[in-house]
Amino acid sequence: MSGRTSRYPGFYRLPLEARVRWVAEQAGLTPEEQALLSNGGLTLEEADHLVENVIGRFALPFAVAVNFLINGREILIPMVIEEPSVVAALSHAARLARAGGGFHAGSDEPIMRGQIQVMDLPDLPAAARAIEEQIEAIRTTAEAATPSIVARGGGFRGLETILFPDTPAGPMLVVHLLYDVRDAMGANAVNTVCEAVAPLIARITGGRVVLRILSNLADRRRAWAEVRIPPEALETPDFPGDLVIQGILEAQALAEVDPYRAATHNKGIMNGIDAVALATGNDWRAIEAGAHAYAARNGQYRPLTRWWRDEGGALHGRIELPLAVGIVGGATQAHPLARVALKILGVSSARELAEIMAAVGLAQNLAALRALATEGIQRGHMELHARQIAMAAGAAGQEIDRIAQQLVAERNIRLARARELLQELRGSATGGFDQERAE
C-alpha cells in the first residue's frame, strides 16, 4: 500500500458514501466492486451454488477498521460483524499501537496436518516403523493427488506416527501427514491426500483404515504478532498510562490462572479474527476450533495472548495461534465480496493474511483489556446504543452524532429524550443545543 494510508482521524464521522469513496481510493476498487458493497455481493444464484436448500441470503454489516500499521505496511481491515463497538475498539487500539511503530507479525510455512487412523494392528511400534520406512512411496502417492498445489511449490513435508495403545475402541495408530498447502486453506487438498494415501497405509501396516481427514489443530501453521506501546499512549483523562498498564497486566494474570476468564479473553480476540475471516470468505469455524484447541494444548485452557511490561515501562503484547486461512479456493473466490475484502487488504499470500489476522486479534485484546482496566466496556457500547436511539427518534445524517453525544453527556439514553433533542435541534437557528458537549 505504498503511498496509501490506513490512518483517518474521524473516519467514523464520515457519511457512509464518503467512507466507501475513501476506501475505494485507497484500495483501487472499481465502480463494480464498490457496487458489490451496497448490494451484498452474492447473488441468489451464486448462493444457490454455494450450499444446499437455499431459500435466500442473509446480510451483515461490512465495515473497515482503520489505523493499522503491520510490518511497516498501512492496512485497512475489512470486517463482517454484527456486534457494536468491535470495529471502533479495534481502530482505537491500532491507533495506540502506532505510538510504538505498529504491529510486527510473522507466520510458519502453511503446513497442515491430515490424520489417517489405523485399527486392528497387533504390534503398533512395528507398524509405525514400517510406515517410516515407506516414506518416499507415501510422498509420491500424496503429491500425485494434488498436482496443482505441488506446481505452486507446496506438497508433502513429512509424517508423524502417534500410537494410542489404550482407547475405548482398542489400540490404534494415527499417521499425521504434514502437507504444505501454499495459499489455500487446505481442507480439500489435505482430505484428498489422506484418502489417496490411506490404501497404501493399509497395505504397509496390514491394518484397517478408518478416518482420513485433516486436523483443525493446525499447530504447524501458526501466526504471531507483537506490539509495544509506551505508557504515554495509554493515558486517559482519568488514568495515567502506568495505571492502565497495571490494570491490563492484572487482567492478563486472571486469564492465565482462570479458564472462566480465559474463555472471555479469547472470545474478544476472536471478535476481530472471525470478522476478518468472514469478510475474506474463510472458514471461521475451523479457525475457532484451532484457536481453542491450541489455547488448551498444555492441559489447561489459557489466553492466546501474553502481556508484560519491559524495563523501560512500556507495555508489550504477543499473540500466537494456528491460523488456517486461504486466499484461493472455496468462498474466498466464490463470494464476490470476499475478493473485494482481499483487495482492500492488499495481501498476496495466505501467510500475509494470517499475519494480519494475528495482529487484529492482538489489537482486539488490547482494546478490550484497556477498556476493562479503565472505564469498563459499557461506555463504548453506550455511545453506539445512543446512535441507535437517535436514529429511532428520526435523526438523520449529522443529527445522529449530535443527538447521540448529547444523550451520552446527559447519561439519559431514552427515546423520548432523543425526540425532544431532535425537535430542539431542528428548531434552533444555530443547529446546536444550548449546552453542546465539546468534542
Positions annotated as catalytic residues are 83, 267, 283, 381
Cβ atoms of 407 and 430 closer than 8 Å: no
Of 109-117, 140-148, 266-274, 388-396, the window that binds ligand MEV (rule: CB under 6 A) is: 266-274
Q: Mark residues 49-88: x for contact with ligand MEV by CB under 6 A, - for none.
A: ----------------------------------x-----
Name the residue nearer to ligand MEV (CB basis): 117 or 271: 271
Cα 66 from Cα 74, distance rounded (Å) = 9
- CB atoms near residue 82 (< 10 Å): 9
Nearest C-alpha neighbor of 115 from the set 160, 157, 174? 174
Q: Does 377 bind ligand MEV (CB under 6 A)?
A: yes
- Nearest distance in Å: CB 439, ligand MEV: 25
For residue 226, what are the CA distances in angstroms to 198, 372, 377? Answer: 40, 21, 24
Query: By CB under 6 A, is residue 268 in contact with ligand MEV?
Result: yes
380 binds ligand MEV (CB under 6 A): no
* Max Cα distance, the chain (Å): 90
- The C-alpha cell of 378 is what? 459499557
In the region spanning residues 345 to 364, those forming contacts with ligand MEV, defined by CB under 6 A, are none
Query: Which one, of 353, 99, 132, 146, lies nearest residue 241 by Cα?
Result: 99
- 8-state DSSP, 184: B
What angle separates helix 259-279 from helix 86-98, to the nearest 10 degrees? 90
- Residue 389 binding ligand MEV, by CB under 6 A: no
Shortest Å, Cβ 170 to ligand MEV: 43
385 binds ligand MEV (CB under 6 A): no
Site stretch for ligand MEV (CB under 6 A), options 68-76, 190-198, 265-273, 318-326: 265-273
Told to check if 264 binds ligand MEV by CB under 6 A, we report yes
Which one of residues 117, 271, 282, 305 is an interface residue with ligand MEV (CB under 6 A)? 271
The answer to the question of residue 270 lying near ligand MEV (CB under 6 A) is no
Length of the chain: 439
The residues binding ligand MEV (CB under 6 A) are 83, 264-265, 267-268, 271, 368, 372, 377
